[in-house]
Amino acid sequence: MYQAMYRKYRPLHFDEVSGQEQVVKTLVNSIKTDRINHAYIFYGPRGTGKTTIAKIFARAVNCEKNKNGNPCEKCTACEISKEKECIDIIEIDAASNNGVDEIRELRSKINFVPADLKYKVYIIDEVHMLTVGAFNALLKTLEEPPEHAIFILATTDFQKLPETVVSRCQCFEFKRLENKLIESRLTEISAKEKIDIDSKVIESIANFSDGGMRDAIGMLDKLASYTDKKITMNEFVSLNGLINEEQLDELTLSILNGDNKEFLKIVGKFNADGKNVIQIISQELFYLRDKIVDGYLNNSLINISDYQSLANIINENMEKVKRSGNPQIFVEILLLSYIEKNKQKSSGNIISQEENISREIMETAKNKGIVNKTATKTNDNKSKIQNYNEVVNNRINNTFATATKEYLKKVKENFERLREHSFDQNEGYLICDLLESNIRAAGEKYAIITYEFDSLVAKNANQIAEIEKVYKRIIGTPIKLAIIDDERWQKLKKEYIENIKNKKEYSLEKDIKPIYVKEEKEVENDETASIFGDIVEFE
C-alpha cells in the first residue's frame, strides 16, 4: 500500500528535525540529564513538527541506551515503541475525543503501570478542542500525575488553553519554518523519489506552505501524482487553482494603469474559472515582492513605489480578505478604491505636478549649497501620544488587576457587535483596524489587544482615542485599550502566570492620562522662498 510522503519522510530522530533548534536542544538536554517533566505543551502553526517531536521524545525517554538524547533503535524498548500496537504511547485526537467522558476514561487507566516501557506517554493533539468539563477533568490528573506518566499537549491555538492547565506544563513554542529549510527538504525528497521538478516550483511550494513542512511535502506528493513528466509551474498553478505569471502581469497592470473595466473583467474571469480569490491575492503579494526586490537589486525598469504601494494595501488587508463573507467582492471594492485614489494622485488632487517640480528645484538648490539645509518646523493635523509607553504599562497592569474570564467574554461579544458597523462610511476603517487585533485579556474597563506587526501597533496607537470613542458610542460603555505586539504579549503572559503561581497580586493603579502632541513636518526656510519665489508658489 502506498505511503504518503509526509509519513514516509517523517523524522525518527531529533537530528533529522528541520528547524525548531531551541525546542530540540532543550528536550535533548532534559533526556540526557534525566530531568523529565510530567507535562509539556507544544504550540505553534500546523505542520511545524509538534507531533513529530512528541513521538520522538516519547521513544527517547523510554530508550534504555539513548544516544545523545536520541533513541538508539537497538534496545527492546526502541523495538516496542516503534510498533503501531505499542500500548504505552497513546495518541489522542482531541478534535474527535473532546468530551469529559473520554478524559475520565484516560484518568481511570493512567494509574496502571506501563506494560512494556518505562513511561506511559499521552500525546493529545489539538488539545484546545477539549470542552470545559474535559479540561477540568484533565487538570486533576495534571496536578497529581503518577510518576510513570508523561503528557504532551499539542495545539495550534495556544490562547484557548486555560491558564490553570498552562501553568502546570512546560511550554514550547514552535515557529514557522524558513523557506530555505523547506526548499532544502523538498529538494532532498525529490532526489530520493526521482521526481523531476523545476526549482521555481519548489520555491513556490515553500512560499505557499506558510512555514509548514507537512503541507509542503503533501503538495509535492500531490504534484508527483498529477504528472509523470517534469513538474513545471504550469502544473503547480493548474493543480492549486492559482494563476500563471502572465495572468499576474495582466492583473497588476490593470490596477497600476487604473483600468477599472479590465480589472473587473480579469477578476470576473478568475471567478468563472473557479479560482480561489484568497489564494490569488496571496499569490499577487509574492509576485509584487519579487518585482520590488528585482527592482532594487537589478535596477529593472519599473516604478518601485507603485509596486510597494499596491503590496502595502494588499498586505494590510490580507486578514480582512480571509475573514470576509465574500472575498471576491471585498477584493474588488478594496482595489477599485485603490485605483481611484491613484487616479486622483496622478491628476494632481493628492500630489500636484507643481509640487513635484518644487521639490526637484529645492533638492537641486540644497545640493548646490544655495539653500541652507536647516529647516524650521510647522505642525500638521496629526497627533500622537507622547507618553504612550507609560500609558500602555499602566493599562496592562490595571487589566491584569481586574481581569476575569467574564470580562474577556464580554469584550469579545462587544467586538462582534462592532463588526456590524465595519462598513460605516465614516468610522468603518477604525472598526476594521480594531477587528484585526487579538483580544488577549480584559478587565472592568480595560483590555489588552495585540497585533502581529509593529507597524500595525504604531498605526492603531496613534488613533487609539478615535477607536475608544467609536467603541463607547456603539457599545455604550468606555474602554481603555493597551495595544502591543504578539511577541510582547507572550512575555507578559508568562510573567503573569509566574506571578500568579508565586501569589503576587496586581493592584489597581491610578490611570495615566495620555499626553497628545502634534506631529511635525519639515518645510524649507524663508531663504528658499526668496530665491525661488518667482518660480514656485510657497504656502
**157 phi, psi to nearest 5 deg:** -135, 75
Question: DSSP secondary-structure letter at 37?
Answer: -
pLDDT, one tens digit per residue, over 105-164 is 888 888 889 999 999 999 999 999 888 888 888 888 888 889 999 999 999 989 889 888
Kindly report the number of other CB atoms within 10 A of residue 244's CB atom.
13
Which of residues 533 and 347 earns the better pLDDT score? 347
Interval 258-271 mean pLDDT? 91
pLDDT computed for residue 207 by the predictor: 85
Q: Strands 170-173 and 39-43: what pairing?
A: parallel
What was the pLDDT predicted at 10?
92
Question: In this model, does residue 85 exceed pLDDT 50?
Answer: yes
- Look up the CATH architecture of domain 179-239: Orthogonal Bundle (1.10)
Instruction: Give the max Cα distance, the chain.
Output: 95
Q: Which residue has the higher pLDDT, 266 or 537?
A: 266
Closest by CA position to 440, among listed 397, 393, 392, 408? 408
Number of residues in the chain: 539
The percent of residues above 90 in pLDDT, for the chain, comes to 42
Tell me which of 2.60.220, 1.10.10, 1.10.150, 1.20.272 is the CATH number of domain 245-347: 1.20.272
Which residue, 59, 39, 2, 19, is CA-closest to 214?
19
Percent of the chain with pLDDT over 70: 88
Of 17, 12, 6, 16, nearest to 214 by C-alpha is 6
The mean per-residue pLDDT over the stretch 242-264 comes to 91
Q: Residue ranges per domain, the chain? A: 5-173, 179-239, 245-347, 384-519
Tell me which H or E stretch contains 482. strand 480-485
Among 177-186, 231-240, 311-320, 352-361, top mean pLDDT goes to 177-186
For range 168-196, the mean pLDDT:
93
The rounded distance, in Å, linking the Cα atoms of 107 and 139 is 10
Angle (nearest 5°) at CA 348 between 344 and 349: 55
pLDDT digits (tens, 9 = 90+) for 444-489: 899 999 998 888 888 888 889 889 999 999 998 999 999 999 889 9
Q: How confident is the model at residue 351, as a pLDDT? A: 43
Residue 217 CB: number of other CB atoms within 10 A?
24
Per-residue pLDDT band for 505 (boundaries 50, 70, 90) equals confident
The arithmetic mean of pLDDT across residues 433-439, rounded, is 88
Residue 104: pLDDT above 90?
A: no
- d(CA 119, CA 500) in angstroms, rounded, equals 31
537 pLDDT higher than 60:
no
At residue 62, the pLDDT reads 94
The predicted structure's pLDDT at residue 107 = 83
Residue with the larger pLDDT of the pair 465 and 353: 465
- pTM over cut 0.85: no
Choosing among 3.40.50.300, 3.40.50.1220, 3.40.50.720, 3.40.50.920, the CATH entry for 5-173 is: 3.40.50.300
Per-residue pLDDT at 368: 46
Query: Is residue 175 pLDDT above 50, yes or no?
Result: yes
pLDDT reading at 257 higher than 60: yes
Q: What is the pLDDT of residues 364-388, one digit of tens each?
A: 544 545 444 443 333 345 567 888 8
Q: DSSP E strands: which ranges in 490-537?
A: 516-523
198-223 pLDDT tens trace:
999 999 899 888 889 999 999 999 99
For residues 497 and 61, what is the distance between their CA atoms, to the nearest angstrom?
A: 28
Q: Tens digits of per-residue pLDDT, 484-495?
A: 998 899 999 988
Residues 233, 198 contacting (CB under 8 angstroms): yes
Estimate to the nearest angstrom the gap between the alpha carbon of 130 and the chain centroid. Answer: 23
Q: What is the pLDDT of residue 382?
A: 53
Beta strand residue intervals within 290-417, DSSP E: 376-385
Distance between CA atoms of residues 481 and 442, nearest Å: 9
Count of Cβ atoms closer than 10 Å to residue 452 Cβ: 14
Find how far residue 84's CA is from the centre of its chain.
35
- What cell does 495 get? 510573567
Which cell is 386 given? Answer: 507622547
For residues 187 and 184, what is the distance between their CA atoms, to the nearest angstrom? Answer: 5
Asked if 353 and 265 touch (Cβ cutoff 8 Å), the reply is no
The pLDDT, as a whole number, for residue 525 is 46
Question: Among 418, 440, 439, 414, which residue's Cα sits nearest to residue 429?
Answer: 418
How does pLDDT run across 271-298, given as a tens digit for each residue?
888 888 888 998 899 889 888 888 888 7
Q: What is the mean pLDDT of the chain?
A: 84
Where on the phi/psi map is residue 476: left (φ > 0), alpha (ψ -120 to 50), or beta?
Answer: left
Highest mean pLDDT (candidates 56-60, 417-421, 522-526):
56-60
Distance between CA atoms of residues 236 and 222, nearest Å: 10
Report the run of H or E that residue 474 belongs to, with start and end: helix 464-475
Residue 345 pLDDT class (50, 70, 90 cuts):
low
How confident is the model at residue 301, as a pLDDT? 67
